[in-house]
Structure 1
Amino acid sequence: MLKPESVGAGSPEQSLVFFDLETTGLGQNCEIVQLAAVSGSHSLNLYVIPRCRMQRGAAKVTGFRVRRQRLYLHRQLVPTNSLREVLVSFIAFLQMLGRPLLIGHNSRRFDCRLLVRALDELDLRAQFESSISGCVDTLPLAREVLKDRCLQSFRQENLVRELLGVNYKAHDALEDVRALQALYSVLQPTPEVIWRHKFTLDTADSKPAVTAAKVPSKLSEQRPLWENFRQAVKVTESQNEEVHAL
């Protein structure tokens, strides 16, 4: 069993990946529209045309619209990939970083559940789980770390405004993960706090638990992932902004 000391934010052997999803709504039956991830200066930002309709409230908040099987963000056409291509590219991104800790805000109750459903549907869950060392939800983590600050809201936008003194373009997955990465560096959770809030995809619906790491895929099995990853990133490369500090 791993010790808490091995999952520290400053541990040189532990990479951190911050991720976020934008979806067609807030229910568990909604679908992924955008998936973004960032780790240091490395970033991934991909879009999917959903199979269900965008809910009016979600469309208003995110700016996404689907017309004639094309996806628009704030009336600008964006390049898209299939859901399988997006997930395979995400797995390859994680593998590139050596089984990182996957971090999201309110991810345990929302993002990870949707991610699991999509991975199961496409039979990619085993590959995904072997590519990460665990998950951490910064919502309960922030509540613990900032319990003496008497904050009225622990929404990510509010935390970024309170702790970093800036406002940002929320509800855009890429901007959200960049902001979360900056927020996490300010929170500076101890290894013990991280350990208490660590969970796996299997335990997302229960108390955090630690499971044995699965054997990574063989290199020959990873090559298709890398090929798809390069293709997907190349398609969206021109659309991504340069990573910048908040």
Structure 2
Amino acid sequence: MQKSGSGGAEESGQSLVFFDLETTGLGQGCDIVQLAAVSGGHSLNLYVIPRCRMQRGASEVTGLRVRRQRLYLHRRLVLTNSLREVLVSFIAFLRMLGRPLVVGHNIRRFDCTLLARALDEMDLRAEFESSVSGCVDTLPLAREMLRGRCLRSFRQENLVRELLGVSYKAHDALEDVRTLRALYDVLQPTAELVCRHMFTLDTMESKPAGTAAKAKAPCKMPGQHFRQTLKVTESKAEDHNGEISGL
């Protein structure tokens, strides 16, 4: 079983799932093209044929293009699923991990908004909500933790370069979540800090917690700490194109 030193998490058995989307653009009306998630030794990586046109800028940074209702990644054909199949697979992945926390970078304002819209469209929102303990956005979390570092940018690529000293293939959802997991291990946020930045799909539009908005009462979460763990056996449940696999 693979263990990680992710801060603020493990003694209680609370799993973390690192999550990211690639989309047809940056607007709220864009479509999901790729969904990836990583937890412990398990990963999920699924692609969707979008219903709207890929914006040129999105194709340039992701390498994803649609030709004749087929999806290509850097000119290589990739297998795709329907949006419903992708969402159902994601929910099954979350349930396998026992109501984990979903962690991502800038997900409160972007990824989770698009995810919520897709879940509502497929009437799967209740299933998702019952499969997670909450969501945590590492963008405001990192801003709070690193406010004294005078960083020029809190984009994930910049944080990885500043804190890990490496560059990586950004804008591929699977690479993004793998790298975010390593970044989270370095940040090691406390349980209190993680709790302050937790939200749900129902509360994500409210103002995020800040350093001055500390809870007057203790924050209640499932378990006392949050560190990445994996409570399931390390099976390699392979789907087509290796979408669900052991890392």
TM (normalized to structure 2)?
0.84
Q: Give the corresponding residue for 2:203.
A: 203
Using the TM superposition, give the Cα deviation of residue 206 of structure 1 relative to its aligned residue in structure 2, in angstroms: 0.4
8 Å Cα contact 1:25/1:57 also seen in 2: yes
Q: Does 1:55 align with 2:55?
A: yes
Deviations, residues 22-71 of structure 1 (Å, cap 9, x unaligned): 00000000000000000011100000000000001101111111001100
Task: Show CA shifts across 1:50-107 (max 9, x none).
Answer: 0000001101111111001100000000000000000000000000000000001000
Taking the TM superposition and a 5 Å limit, the aligned residue runs for 1:63-82 are 63-82=63-82
Q: Counterparts of 1:100 and 1:82 in 2: how far apart (Å)?
A: 24
Q: Distance in 2 between matches of 1:37 and 1:71?
A: 20
| 2:144 equivalent to 1:139 | no
Percent identical among aligned pairs is 76
Q: Over residues 92-137 of structure 1, what are the superposed CA-to-partner deviations in whole Å (9 max), with x where a residue is unaligned? A: 0000000000001000000000000000000000000000000000
Give the total of aligned pairs.
Answer: 218
> Per the alignment, in what secondary structure is the counterpart of residue 61 of structure 2?
helix
Rounded to whole Å, the distance in 2 between the matches of 1:10 and 1:152 is 32
Q: What is aligned with 2:92?
A: 92
- Equivalent position of 1:103 in the other structure: 103
Query: Which consecutive unaligned segments of at least 5 residues does structure 2 have?
Result: 1-6, 210-218, 223-236
State the 1:236 CA deviation: 2.0
Q: Tell me by how many angstroms 1:179 deviates.
A: 0.3
Matches within 5 A, 1:205-220: 205-207=205-207
The whole-number CA distance in structure 1 between the counterparts of 2:245 and 2:72 is 17
CA distance in 1, matches of 2:61, 2:244: 20
Q: Which runs of 5+ in 1 are unaligned?
A: 1-6, 214-229
- Superposed, 1:1-246 pairs within 5 Å as 8-207=8-207, 233-237=238-242, 243=247
Question: Conserved in 1, the CA contact under 8 Å of 2:116 and 2:125?
Answer: yes
CA deviation map 1:138-192 (0-9, x unaligned): 0000001111111110000010111111110000000000000000010000011
Say if 2:23 and 2:32, in contact at 8 Å, map to a contact too.
Answer: yes
Match of 1:236, SS state, is helix
1-structure distance, mates of 2:120, 2:239: 26
Which consecutive aligned stretches of 4+ in structure 1 deviate over 4 angstroms post-superposition?
208-213, 239-242
SS at match of 1:87: helix
d(CA) in 2 for partners of 1:189, 1:197 = 11
Q: What's the counterpart of residue 226 of structure 2?
A: none
Which structure has more relative contact order (CA 8 Å, sep 6+)? It is: 2
C-alpha root-mean-square deviation of aligned residues, in Å?
A: 2.1
